[in-house]
Structure 1
Amino acid sequence: MAAQETSNPLRWLALLPLPEAALPDVDDVVQWYAQAYPDAPPLTLASASQGIQTYTLGGRTLAATLIPHPIPWEQLEGPCATAWYWPQAAETLREHVAHLLVVLVDEPGKSVDHALALTRVVAALAQQGSVGVFWGPGRLVHATPAFLEQARQVASDDLPLFLWIDFRIEEQAPGQLQLYTTGLAALGADELETSGYRGSAQALLEFAYNIGHFQLLQNKTLNEGDTLGLTDEVEAIAHREPSMLGGGMEVVRLEFAKITG
């Protein structure tokens, strides 16, 4: 059974830490969005009042609310500590004085399409001066330039999983790695885990990324014993098991094996 999409309280939420307590300029946001995504549903301001802007696009509604104080550090400390791709995360984000709370109203439709819409709007808002992006479903922090670079390239067949999913790789024992993901469940897919992997961290990351991308693009539930060919020499066998992190969530544990015959 696929993950329960509604179990994540941070689903369809992003936080934009700001250097000053000010809402973005609406005209600039809409213009930037139109230039960056000419083929996407247009972004339109629905309403604006003191401290909040509401936008619509493609039948979806998003609200950006100005919070005139910093994001609580305990919410950022963990993601900053694990943001290996952004070594300056903690130093940069400690300096913000206010933030935008960006929420997409959860309406019927495909989770991936919701995530693409939120990504595009967050990019349009962030380019006005946000010092970073906190992506709620994956509990990830991103530098604004890196987020914008990847967000500009989003497409329905090329998903920005590094913006959405935390692919956490840790050394389990000398010569062995373990991996677990955070963020796939919010998109309606199963979180991925593996342990005892013998190989490079880069190869493991690529395998997990490709499997996650496959789940989302194909809307595919991996069943017990399903086998995925990853290269000419390596395959992954899916096992449905409780998460090694506890909490009772069922995940897909990946067993990697060499292809024989």
Structure 2
Amino acid sequence: MPQINRWIALLPLAAPQLPNFAGIERAFQERFPDAVQPSTPGGTERLTTCSLGDFTASATLIDQPIPPAQLVGPCAAAWYWPDAAAAVSNHTAHLLLTLVDEGGTPIDRALAFTRWTAAVAAASDALGVFWGPSRAIHRPADFIDQAVQSSINDLPLYLWIDFRIEPVANATGGPGFLRLYTTGLEALGQNELEVQHFVGEPQTLLSSAYNVAHYLLERKKVINDGDTIGLTEEVQLTARRGPSMLGGELEVIQLQWE
């Protein structure tokens, strides 16, 4: 069975127009002058392809909207972009972006695809950026700004990973609590993170999960069942490996506060 390509992004458009390679190349050079530049362009009226170092990148024009069901959840969850649903509601077409894995590490691929996506978004006046690996949607200007600031030493985790926090009612009638799960770490070569029960501020939970994700990716750490992760001298987490609380066969890292 062929492997599914993880590196997909969707850009909703107000009008069905594919930017030409020259425009994408210019946007790329302006924003990422020190990165490997796109080269050897090809394609058709509705498809642009190029080489991006060891990778092959593409942008395909789809002359119809993204299915509404694919955007409803991400738009509703985009607390950082309250107007997401309204911003993309009237789009008439979209671009399908891909990156074919032909080498490098997951981080190399993610950085290359982030730059390609940002350049195409800038060249096409996209209404939004739907990042496939995390199934999250972003305001184009925010995506481009964070992409420009990103590097191997400054990973744009909020672009790559959806840190989803949900309130949970206590079945016993006691105080409610929060839970968290990530989407996007698997594409980066790590297990997804989950917190089944947390009492405290949402920002504290988000910051803790972010720091653990950054620790895993920066140090390429393999977390074993029962390992302790020290976020600060006062805050220690225990990592447990187990099935996802969301169901299915996915093994995740469950974080527990000590």
2:161 aligns with: 165
2:181 aligns with: 180
| CA 1:50–1:186: 2 relative to 1, 3 Å | same
1:130 aligns with 2:126: yes
1:67 aligns with: 62
Deviation of 1:232 after TM superposition, in Å, equals 2.1
1:93 aligns with: 88
Deviation of 1:107 after TM superposition, in Å, equals 1.8
- Structure 2 residue identity aligned to 1:181: T
Distance 2:153 2:257 in 1: 26
1:21 aligns with: 16
Deviation of 1:9 after TM superposition, in Å, equals 4.5
Identity %: 50
Q: Is the 8 A contact 2:238 2:255 kept in 1?
A: yes
Distance 2:115 2:224 in 1: 32
Give me the TM-score of the superposition, normalised by structure 2: 0.93
SS at structure 2 position matched to 1:148:
helix
SS at structure 2 position matched to 1:251:
strand
Q: Is the 8 A contact 2:228 2:237 kept in 1?
A: yes
SS at structure 2 position matched to 1:55:
strand
| CA 1:188–1:130: 2 relative to 1, 3 Å | same
- Residues 8-47 of structure 1 mapped to structure 2, 5 A cutoff: 9=4, 11-47=6-42
Deviation of 1:214 after TM superposition, in Å, equals 1.3
Q: Is the 8 A contact 1:10 1:137 kept in 2?
A: no
- Structure 2 residue identity aligned to 1:242: P
After TM superposition, which residue ranges in structure 1, 4 or more long, deviate above 4 angstroms?
6-10
Q: In the TM superposition, what whole-angstrom CA distance separates every residue of 1:143-170 from its partner, at most 9, and x where no partner exists?
A: 1111111111110121111111110111
2:140 aligns with: 144
1:80 aligns with: 75
Distance 2:196 2:62 in 1: 41
1:254 aligns with: 255
2:241 aligns with: 240
| CA 1:9–1:200: 2 relative to 1, 3 Å | farther
Deviation of 1:175 after TM superposition, in Å, equals 4.7
| CA 1:91–1:8: 2 relative to 1, 3 Å | farther
Distance 1:145 1:158 in 2: 18
2:172 aligns with: none
1:222 aligns with: 223
| CA 1:8–1:83: 2 relative to 1, 3 Å | farther
Distance 1:50 1:79 in 2: 30
1:50 aligns with 2:45: yes
| CA 1:16–1:8: 2 relative to 1, 3 Å | farther
Root mean square deviation of aligned Cα: 1.7
Distance 2:142 2:24 in 1: 18
Distance 2:12 2:52 in 1: 24
- Kindly tell me the number of residue pairs found equivalent between the two proteins: 252
Distance 1:141 1:9 in 2: 21
1:201 aligns with: 202
Deviation of 1:196 after TM superposition, in Å, equals 1.8
SS at structure 2 position matched to 1:124:
helix
Q: In the TM superposition, what whole-angstrom CA distance separates every residue of 1:175-208 from its partner, at most 9, and x where no partner exists?
A: 5211100111111101000122122111111110
1:3 aligns with: none
| Structure 2, gaps ≥5 residues long | 170-174
Q: Is the 8 A contact 2:20 2:48 kept in 1?
A: no
Deviation of 1:101 after TM superposition, in Å, equals 0.5
Q: In the TM superposition, what whole-angstrom CA distance separates every residue of 1:97-122 from its partner, at most 9, and x where no partner exists?
A: 11110010122320111011010010
Give me the TM-score of the superposition, normalised by structure 1: 0.92
Q: Is the 8 A contact 1:45 1:53 kept in 2?
A: no
